[in-house]
A and B are shown apart, each in its own frame.
Chain A
Amino acid sequence: MRRAGCIEMMYPELEDKLVVTIMGACAQELYNLGHRDNFFYLQHAMGLASSIGLGLATHLPRERVIVLDGDGSVLMNLGTFATLARYRPKNLVHVVFDNGSLLSTGGFTSHTTSGITDIAAIARGAGIEHAVGVSDVTAFGEAFVDALDRDDLSVIVAKVEPVGPDHYGMDLQLPENAFRFKRWIAERRRATGAAS
């Protein structure tokens, strides 16, 4: 299974959801499908994508938040699973694409390569009730649909091949991404009449 295929499968659902990705390959694969202002690409600060997701989900209970994380990134912030478990935002889906690789920095193996480290088990051990590991496209699709249907925090750890996009580059400055993301949220709040 490839991450790009998984993201493509998710893409129609992402139209009206807040999406936060990690850096590099993952960000590029989403961007290549067509940027939207409700997508935020965290092009550095490894580990914090799910923390941004928690901040968004907590303060915007009417929105759905989807985090697209990676094994290398989430291993830098394992405490995030415990924090997510404690506050349990019902509107957050945390997808970890486990390619066993630090792909965006040259493809060194990560600690999950050998299969010894099981990120879904870590998430469950941290207290996240709905944390599943999947390794084929059908199972991924089902897990994602289940997560969207479920009114609860969900973690999906998807085993994917260590392959990335064939080119890198975005026509989007980093602060511009942040400004437009914030504006998208503000305009939607205005449109839906949410109390501030």
Chain B
Amino acid sequence: MTVSYDNSKIIFDGIKAAGITSISALPETWLGLLLQRAEDDPEISLIQVCKEEEAIGIAAGAYFAGTPHVLLMQNHGFFGAINGIVSLAQLYHVPLCMLVALRGHWGEPYPWHTRGGIVTESVLRALGIPFEYARRPDDVAKQIREAYTFSQSSLSPVALLLTRDLMED
């Protein structure tokens, strides 16, 4: 099982095609190749954080500045960012476009990811965060564009869940 080189490129190109110029992220295996591209691309400003909740603040700053921004994190990082999402983004109507690696779901071999994977969808629902699953490389660029558009029109956090089908070869 390896992280998909081709699909990481497709996702990165999709982020750029959506007009995004700024990314905040906390690295994890599935996001590694994607982040490498972001780091190497002079057109993208990348801020790596110590904890995912920081990225909620950074994303709000980017939004106020008028810079299109996406957040990259894994689902466990999303859990750790919840107060920022609720008490900054939702409270102040600040949009967030989150691309979330959905670890611990169908096909997951690692036990430590499983509890988080099992509850991710329910947590998103409980928070009223609209989400979609990204499974197919042919669709993902459009899904990123639409996620970004919807975050901006609804002034809300939205999540695109990056699944195993998409992220692994």
Q: A-side interface residues toward B, CB under 8 Å?
A: 40, 42-60, 77, 79-80, 82-83, 86-87, 174-175, 177-179, 181-182, 185-186, 189, 196
Contact = CB atoms under 8 A, between A and B. Distances in A.
Chain B interface, DSSP helix/strand/loop, else mixed? helix
A46 B60 CA distance: 14
Contacts of A44: 83, 87-88, 91
Interface of B: 22, 24, 45, 47-51, 53-67, 69, 83-84, 87-88, 91-94
Contact of A48 (B22, B54, B62, B67): B54
Given A42-B88, A185-B66, A186-B66, A79 B61 contact: no
6 smallest CB-CB distances across A and B, nearest first, come from A55-B61, A51-B57, A79-B50, A48-B57, A59-B65, A44-B87
A51 B54 CA distance: 6
A45 B91 CA distance: 10
B63 A182 contact: yes
A79 B88 contact: no
A54 B61 contact: yes
A45 B88 contact: yes
Contacts of A174: 91-92
A59 B88 contact: no
B91 A51 contact: no
B64 to A, nearest CB: 5
Contact of A175 (B47, B50, B60, B92): B92
A80 to B, nearest CB: 6
Contact of B48 (A50, A53, A86, A179): A86
Contacts of B56: 45, 48, 51
B54 A56 contact: no
Nearest to B54: A51
Contact of A185 (B59, B65, B94): B65
A48 B106 CA distance: 34
Contacts of A83: 47-50, 54
B88 A175 contact: no
A48 B83 CA distance: 10
A51 B81 CA distance: 13
Contacts of A185: 64-66
Contacts of B45: 58-59
Contacts of B94: 178
A54 B45 CA distance: 12
14 contacts: A43-B91, A45-B57, A48-B57, A48-B84, A49-B57, A51-B54, A51-B58, A52-B61, A55-B57, A55-B60, A55-B63, A56-B61, A79-B50, A196-B66
Given A52-B60, A55-B57, A55-B60, A177 B92 contact: yes
Contacts of B91: 43-45, 174-175
Contacts of B58: 51-52, 54-55, 58
